[in-house]
Structure 1
Amino acid sequence: MNARWRTLAVALTWLLSVFLVIGGLAWQRTYERAATQERVALAHGLALHAAELRDADPGTARKLGTAAVGIHSDEQTRAGLIDTMIDIYGETLPPETPYEVTVSGDGRIALTSDGHETNVLDLAPWTDQEATEEPGRIPTLKGHKGRSVNTTALSFDGRTALTGDDGGITTVWDLADPAEPARLATMTAGRITEYTNGVKKVALSRDGRTAVIVDHDGVMTVWELADRSRPKRLSTTRSNPVPIRDFALSADARTAVVVDDRRKVAVWDLAAEQPVKVAGLDLDMEFSQSATRTAMSADGHVVLVQRAGRIEIWNLADRAHPVRHTTLDVSFDKLYGTYDMSLTPDGKRVLLAGPGDSGVLWDLSTPSRPVRSAALNGHTREIGSVALGAEGRVALMAGSSGVSFWDLTDLDEIVADPKGASCRRYDAEISEAEWARYAGDADWSAYKSEDADSVSVCRTDWWS
């Protein structure tokens, strides 16, 4: 009997040990889960405070955003810190109320237009870190005799500009000296009627030797600008039986995409003596009801087409057989009705703007898997026009609140490692008073060194 009881006691002891271990592990998992949830809630709370302070107190916003990523790095906290850090690189430029902005491919020159005046901006004081001169006089492109300027274009080097007005006239400008623009010639678009409003879009090839003018009626005129003072008309084509909404041109001026007023999108070959329509994008009914904007990469292989809350990304490597890469949902960025978009020449980055108060950058390096990079804040009202230059290192946005300029040179570094990029620039600390204000009931002692009287936002072992 004693042996039997001893065996039973051992078995019970073993079972009790197993239960204790299982219970301990369960408790540990519950504790760790609760601790993780607390960290996530704290990080998201700090990120929210950072977003709220971004305009009023950028230093504190950056400090709280860095702390949020350090406590718990996820899509929400990283995106918040990226937006806060990028915000530091934005500033307001004159003039105050343009509705359109265009930038040269090299990021050196910009045009801003409010419909009545078109101004030339030399961006060197903002793009050249070694520049010491202050922004000088802003010259105005005069010569449209009271007509409204509808659209503008710049060559890649910023030496040639086009301005198209509501009287059907496009003017060629020499901007070799941005402070002293020279009016070289004029070109006439298609037929102007009481139902149209002159020039709708103008575009230049990368070398500035070819211009394409499209009027509201859909008449597309191709011009040779080898001698800019003597433009030579190469062809005139009725691209659409109805007015157009938007137009995009490849860098070599061989491929064009036209969006018409019936929301149909056509691909044109402009290389022939007479332009030829080679394909139409196969849009479903919902999409075709709302396509309004388009953009194209320099090689003409990547084309974006906008609809309400959606951006279609297309591959035109074979122009006769367009292939849809994917559909980009931007409705959550307040871009349900995208007003404008700008694509870098390599087709790897796009800036979108619409009814919201910010522009949004997307990485299209892998067209089938677009990734949101950052938001460019700074406008209190809707943004009507955006432009990217210098391979995406320069961005401009125009709206009813003015023109914003952004230096995006460090964007890739910041997106890849926002906390590291922040900490390489400075190591800030959160005081006990700030912790109490922004961190709620979170335990102060768990996030600071034992003898410290503040929390270093660049510590990496808070959760260990």
Structure 2
Amino acid sequence: MNDLPEARQADPRGDIRWRTSAIVLAALLAVCLAVAGLAWKRAHDRASAQERIALAHGLALHAADLRDAAPGTARNLGVAAVKIHSDGQTRAGLIDTLVWERGRELTPDASSEVALSGDGRLALTGDGDEVSVWDLTAWLDPKVILKSDRAAALKGHKEGVDAVALSFDGRTALTGDEGATFVWDLTDPAKPIRAATLASERNSGSVRALALSDDGRTAVIANDAGDVTVWNLTDRSRPARLSVTRAHASSIRSLGLSANGRTAVTVDNDDAVTVWDLADPSHPVKSADLPPPERSERSMVATAMSADGRIVLVGNGPRVEVWNLDDQSRPARTAAFEVPLGYMYDVALTPDGKTALLAGPSDFTILWDLSDLSRPTRLAALKGYAREIESVAFSADGGIALTAGPSGVSLWDLRNLAEVVADPEQAACHGHTSARLSKADWARYAGDADWSDYGGEVSGGLAVCFITSDPT
């Protein structure tokens, strides 16, 4: 009867080995359970993260669709999207919504040409045989409810106006048609004076592009025949023609001029892009030819130049190229980027060359940041009232923009664009912390997602500015 106890006492190491094995097994089991739990948690977190991303992107898409019909709801959905998951897509969507709120219809009348003074206070819009002059002072003051009508109309053209230009100070304007170019004194915008007519050369064809130096003393005219004509407007009532140059073999489509009038760039219908030295305006000299962006099936090239003549932007449909002209004889391409436009109707560039506005056969124009010439970045899309954008213009600081087409002209106040782009969430919620989505809107646009997972619920809805990005 005492054999078993004696045996155990005789071999205590077996008991120790048994207990050790049990402990090891328990530890292994705990490790396995921990690993399994961690794997489950990671899988759950990944699934939860994917659900948040999908929800945020869905809300951003709904916001884009609602900008016209329900701007308040669009803003709230955009904020919710960024709060739930902030990435390039949701931030870009909210930025576009906030910028859209800063646009308004200047006129529903068609306009194929627009121009702005340097301070953005005077505008020209043209279509048909006359050009409208707009004093934008009241339009840019949010305290003014009743906006003023156009200040005056520039009349006298027998044919449709094909091009317009406005000096930096807004005191001199050019309007061109098939037969001639008129010089206008806009010292009093409400009482414009036609100061002179710049007669065209015989059989030279229609005016296609116009440009003025900042001081309004140098005018450059490009026409159907491929000619570039330089005029001295120091005495607006007695302009002096300085030169006529056969610049291209085909019609000139686009023209850019530096602020001092000493450098120009032209583009013709065959997509030839040429840089001109106008230091001696009586003898323009070709500095260089720029290879245009890759030709598309329906090619249409547009160009613009910075005030100092150092930066040239050349756009051909989906591809835009940036050129540096520090050495005019050896232009250097610093960047190329793609834009969602089939081809290019017009390009505007701020005088410092840091912001570009691109227009094509679409109901929106695209703002690009060129501060780093080697890495252009998209800022925002301006989707206004026009169904198609044919012409765009910038004020000197890029704070005011015009977009125009067959269905009207839109005016854009972009003076706080930098703050919006830097932190769209803060820009949207500043002063609007009570913004909320109703349960009905949440159910309509968020589907089965439970809004209680995202916090911020208040009486009457979900406070979008207080949504938590991590429901855990």
Structure 1 length-normalised TM: 0.94
Give 1:153's aligned residue: 165
1:365 aligns with 2:371: yes
Output the CA distance in 2 between the equivalents of 1:323 and 1:314.
Answer: 5
**Residue type at the aligned position of 2:442:** W
Give 2:325's aligned residue: 316
Give the alignment of 1:190-201 within 5 angstroms: 190-192=201-203, 196=205, 198-201=206-209
Output the CA distance in 1 between the equivalents of 2:198 and 2:458.
Answer: 75
1:170 aligns with 2:181: yes
Displacement of 1:344 in angstroms is: 0.7
Output the CA distance in 1 between the equivalents of 2:338 and 2:25.
Answer: 60
1:374 aligns with 2:380: yes
CA contact (8 A) 2:293 2:321 kept: no
Specify whether residues 352 and 239 from structure 1 end up closer, same or farther in structure 2 by C-alpha distance, changes over 3 A only. Answer: same
CA contact (8 A) 2:351 2:396 kept: no
Give 1:408's aligned residue: 414
Query: Who wins on radius of gyration, i.e. which is larger?
Result: 2
1:7 aligns with 2:15: no
Give 1:432's aligned residue: 439
Displacement of 1:434 in angstroms is: 2.1
**Residue type at the aligned position of 1:120:** V
CA contact (8 A) 1:190 1:215 kept: no
Displacement of 1:380 in angstroms is: 5.3
- Larger mean CA deviation between 133-142 and 16-25 belongs to 133-142
CA contact (8 A) 1:379 1:399 kept: no
C-alpha offsets along residues 107-138 of structure 1, whole Å, 9 cap, x if unaligned?
Answer: 11111111321111111111244657740454
Output the CA distance in 1 between the equivalents of 2:376 and 2:392.
Answer: 19
CA contact (8 A) 2:294 2:316 kept: no
**Residue type at the aligned position of 2:305:** M
Specify whether residues 232 and 375 from structure 1 end up closer, same or farther in structure 2 by C-alpha distance, changes over 3 A only. Answer: same
Give 1:398's aligned residue: 404
Q: Secondary structure at the match of 1:124?
A: coil
Output the CA distance in 2 between the equivalents of 1:14 and 1:407.
Answer: 67
Give 1:80's aligned residue: 93
Structure 2 length-normalised TM: 0.92
Give 1:211's aligned residue: 219
1:101 aligns with 2:114: yes
Displacement of 1:289 in angstroms is: 9.0
Of 267, 284, 305 in structure 2, the residue corresponding to residue 259 of structure 1 is 267
Output the CA distance in 2 between the equivalents of 1:125 and 1:453.
Answer: 38
Aligned residue pairs total 456
Specify whether residues 289 and 422 from structure 1 end up closer, same or farther in structure 2 by C-alpha distance, changes over 3 A only. Answer: closer
**Residue type at the aligned position of 1:253:** G
Of 257, 261, 277 in structure 1, the residue corresponding to residue 286 of structure 2 is 277
Output the CA distance in 1 between the equivalents of 2:127 and 2:346.
Answer: 16
Displacement of 1:283 in angstroms is: 4.4
C-alpha offsets along residues 297-326 of structure 1, whole Å, 9 cap, x if unaligned?
Answer: 111111111112111111111111100111
Q: Secondary structure at the match of 1:149?
A: coil
Give 1:189's aligned residue: 200
- Larger mean CA deviation between 250-259 and 8-17 belongs to 8-17
Displacement of 1:461 in angstroms is: 3.0
1:454 aligns with 2:450: no
CA contact (8 A) 2:287 2:328 kept: yes
CA contact (8 A) 2:402 2:412 kept: yes
Give 2:352's aligned residue: 346
Displacement of 1:452 in angstroms is: 5.3
C-alpha offsets along residues 180-233 of structure 1, whole Å, 9 cap, x if unaligned?
Answer: 10110111233425xx3x212111001111111122112111111111111112
- Larger mean CA deviation between 442-451 and 93-102 belongs to 442-451
Question: How well do the aligned residues superpose, as a CA RMSD in angstroms?
Answer: 1.9
CA contact (8 A) 1:199 1:214 kept: yes
CA contact (8 A) 1:265 1:281 kept: yes
Output the CA distance in 2 between the equivalents of 1:79 and 1:284.
Answer: 27
CA contact (8 A) 1:218 1:242 kept: yes
Displacement of 1:449 in angstroms is: 4.7
- Larger mean CA deviation between 440-449 and 278-287 belongs to 278-287
Unaligned runs of 5+ in 2: 1-13
Specify whether residues 283 and 387 from structure 1 end up closer, same or farther in structure 2 by C-alpha distance, changes over 3 A only. Answer: closer
Output the CA distance in 2 between the equivalents of 1:179 and 1:380.
Answer: 27
Displacement of 1:383 in angstroms is: 1.2
Give 1:119's aligned residue: 132
Displacement of 1:367 in angstroms is: 1.5
Q: Secondary structure at the match of 2:164?
A: strand
Specify whether residues 380 and 403 from structure 1 end up closer, same or farther in structure 2 by C-alpha distance, changes over 3 A only. Answer: closer
Output the CA distance in 2 between the equivalents of 1:156 and 1:33.
Answer: 56
CA contact (8 A) 1:448 1:454 kept: no
Specify whether residues 264 and 384 from structure 1 end up closer, same or farther in structure 2 by C-alpha distance, changes over 3 A only. Answer: same
Q: Secondary structure at the match of 1:126?
A: coil
CA contact (8 A) 1:65 1:77 kept: yes
- Larger mean CA deviation between 256-265 and 1-10 belongs to 1-10
Q: Secondary structure at the match of 1:368?
A: coil
Identity of counterpart residues, as a percentage?
55
Output the CA distance in 2 between the equivalents of 1:426 and 1:125.
Answer: 26
**Residue type at the aligned position of 2:331:** P
